[in-house]
Structure 1
Amino acid sequence: MAESEATPVVPSSELLEWPKKDKRRFLHAVYRVGDLDRTIKFYTEGFGMKLLRKRDIPEEKYSNAFLGFGPEESQFVVELTYNYGVDKYDIGTGFGHFAIATPDVYKFVENARAKGGNVSREPGPVKGGSSIIAFVKDPDGYAFEIIQRASTPEPLCQVMLRVGDLDRSINFYEKALGMKMLRKIDRPEQKYTLAMMGYADEYETTVLELTYNYGVTEYTKGNAYAQVAISTEDVYKSGEVVNHVTQELGGKITRQAGPVPGIGTKIVALLDPDGWKTVLVDNEDFLKELK
């Protein structure tokens, strides 16, 4: 008698709707730097960020620093990682930039320059538009787009990543992570299309900016940028959704839902179809960690 083929489990519509109902927000971006004190000094003096907390894990041979413009309980921040003895990383071709919104780009850039920032694009209007922007690189070469906005509740406002198939990525982030596609811009004269993805209007919160360059389907990841972390009310349910979506669109879960040994915070880690990593973090556990 032939063995019966396994019937694929079809998730309930309620489960697939969960990411949209879940209370999610971007918590932090994690990336590696070659000199933690140097970067802290530049971000606090050059960008005006605050050092929120710092920890050293000698048994694992690394240190972390969390910096931002407001408290971690309510704002998106950066988590810098220094691995003992490693002073240089490869940013790769896939990572694009972070972005900071400020009322006065010109003043912001002059201060960043005075503190050692490398201004790679001087302040001025975007091509064919009126928005004022600039680009500044930090001591490790990470690019920051500086965007002029009269006011913003979330100054650290974007993470830009390049992807090989924009429609697939939009689909993935909508279905697997419950994001909304806030706007899509095509620039045929510059041969790229981008999509802003997030949980609220981009003037209210941090967003993910996905960029597709015409004809480019693969990028190098390097070993510098690591991941973004996003809050969830239920890592187990969120993990189930991701597991289903990866079967349809690609990507994979790299750490099944559950508590992190030694910390107890529940997380689930995943890669999108391009290999970009996201960690979903139990919100209640995260707030306990901060206390």
Structure 2
Amino acid sequence: MTSSNKDFSIKIEAAHNDPSLTFNHTCLRVKDPVRSVEFYEKNFGMKLHAKKDFPDMKFSLYFLSFPKDNMKTNCHNEPDVFSSEGILELTHNWGSESDPEFKINNGNVEPHRGFGHICFAVADVEKECNDLEAKGVAFQKKLSDGRQKDIAFALDPDGYWIELIGYLNNKHGNTLPTKDVGMRFNHTMIRIKDPSKTLDFYQNVLGMKIHKISEHANAKFTNYFLGYDIPEGESWLSMEGILELCHNWGTENDPDFSYHNGNQAPQGYGHICVSCTDPSKLCSEIEEKYGDKITWAPKFNQGKMKNLAFLKDPDGYSIEVVPHGLCV
């Protein structure tokens, strides 16, 4: 059950007045973690910061990102993967790597479309694509394919799409940054049914801002790019922690239409996560202002894993809320 018919016009003050709010990570389930971690490290230069095992629930979490010089440490003196943007969380349910019938839902195949892709931004997208091809990385779309010649889509071992875009000399007219700042985990894309309801949710409930709207009239869809504040010297194209909402025109008028949220079978995409210094305050205000208009699973500090919460957006996608410095 989703909350797509709910009104999310109430502004949550804790979300709008908290500069610590961060779009922290995106979670994807993987079949074989050894294969997937090696793929992201070898081909993109990501770094594995932490691995967490949960024997009682028989799953493991792997936290990767592009190199970060300023990553803090948590109470265990380990890398604090919950305080930064641009974290990729890979979830492995034990045994899937040995099951020949197990397959990940990448979110782009009917009838299970919903999650679209993750996106890495680079200074020179043509050079990056050439390097990836030389390494044997498969592509869903090369730069030379289709109408859009400035984006490509690589494929990871589970068939997830990885969009590749350039932030220098781009068609959007952004003048920042002015030099190569390295590869960035720029955004995560999910498809949405009704932009008016979903935009209200992410702006009013979670305090995000719209940084860019891109309308494609010929193909009848619009993309909305949201996030928190843009760092000085950068643009929405080069920063990390952007959420792309893709609306295919007309879906909002079909009462029977819905997207697959990735957490129902067949599973794949898991969630996005926002972190802050005081998630208890944020969650308490959301509960107070919205009541049963919000679906929680679980509420803050009420699940097996403490000091976190999961709530659902109007399409039933999950959003995790955690504190900076969380020790798991």
| TM-score under structure 2 length normalisation | 0.74
Aligned residues, how many?
269
Residue in 1 that maps onto 2:142: 122
1:93 match: secondary structure? coil
- Offset, 1:81: 1.0
- Offset, 1:75: 3.6
Q: Distance in 1 between matches of 2:184 and 2:294?
A: 30
Determine if the alignment matches structure 1 residue 253 to structure 2 residue 296: yes
* Map 1:24-35 → 2, pairs under 5 A: 24-35=21-32
Determine if the alignment matches structure 1 residue 138 to structure 2 residue 186: no
Q: Distance in 2 between matches of 1:61 and 1:204?
A: 35
1:101 match: secondary structure? strand
1:23-64 alpha-carbon deviations (Å, 9 max, x no partner)? 211111111101111111111111221122223333322222
Q: 1:24 to 1:152 in 2, by over 3 A?
A: farther
- Offset, 1:158: 0.2
Bigger relative contact order, structure 1 or 2, given CA contacts below 8 A and separation 6+? Answer: 2
Q: 1:270 to 1:237 in 2, by over 3 A?
A: same
Q: Distance in 1 between matches of 2:133 and 2:53?
A: 30
Residue in 2 that maps onto 1:19: 15
1:45 match: secondary structure? helix
Residue in 1 that maps onto 2:115: 95
Of 52, 55, 71, the residue aligned with 1:55 is 52
| Structure having the larger proportion of residues in strand | 1
* Map 1:131-280 → 2, pairs under 5 A: 132-150=150-168, 151-152=180-181, 155-201=184-230, 202=236, 203-216=238-251, 217-222=257-262, 223-243=267-287, 246=290, 250-258=293-301, 261=304, 264=306, 266-280=307-321
Q: Distance in 2 between matches of 1:162 and 1:246?
A: 24
- Offset, 1:278: 0.5
Letter in 1 for 2:312: L
- Offset, 1:195: 0.8
1:197 match: secondary structure? strand
1:173-215 alpha-carbon deviations (Å, 9 max, x no partner)? 0111000111222211111011111102323332100010012
Bigger shift: 218-227 or 239-248?
Answer: 239-248
Q: Distance in 1 between matches of 2:313 and 2:183?
A: 25
Residue in 2 that maps onto 1:281: 322
1:59-110 alpha-carbon deviations (Å, 9 max, x no partner)? 3222221111024343411111111122422233000110001112222223
Letter in 1 for 2:213: K
Letter in 1 for 2:157: P
- Offset, 1:154: 7.0
Q: Distance in 1 between matches of 2:209 and 2:162?
A: 24
- Do the aligned residues in 2 keep the contact of 1:124 with 1:133 (CA within 8 Å)? no
Of 89, 93, 112, the residue aligned with 1:79 is 89
Letter in 2 for 1:258: N
Q: Distance in 2 between matches of 1:20 and 1:80?
A: 29
Letter in 2 for 1:88: K
- Do the aligned residues in 1 keep the contact of 2:12 with 2:207 (CA within 8 Å)? no
Residue in 2 that maps onto 1:5: none
- Offset, 1:145: 0.7
- Do the aligned residues in 2 keep the contact of 1:243 with 1:252 (CA within 8 Å)? no
Q: Distance in 1 between matches of 2:51 and 2:181?
A: 26
Q: 1:126 to 1:208 in 2, by over 3 A?
A: farther
| Structure 1 portions without partners, runs of 5+ | 1-12
Q: Distance in 1 between matches of 2:291 and 2:213?
A: 26
| Structure having the larger proportion of residues in helix | 1
Q: Distance in 2 between matches of 1:111 and 1:251?
A: 45
Residue in 1 that maps onto 2:129: 109
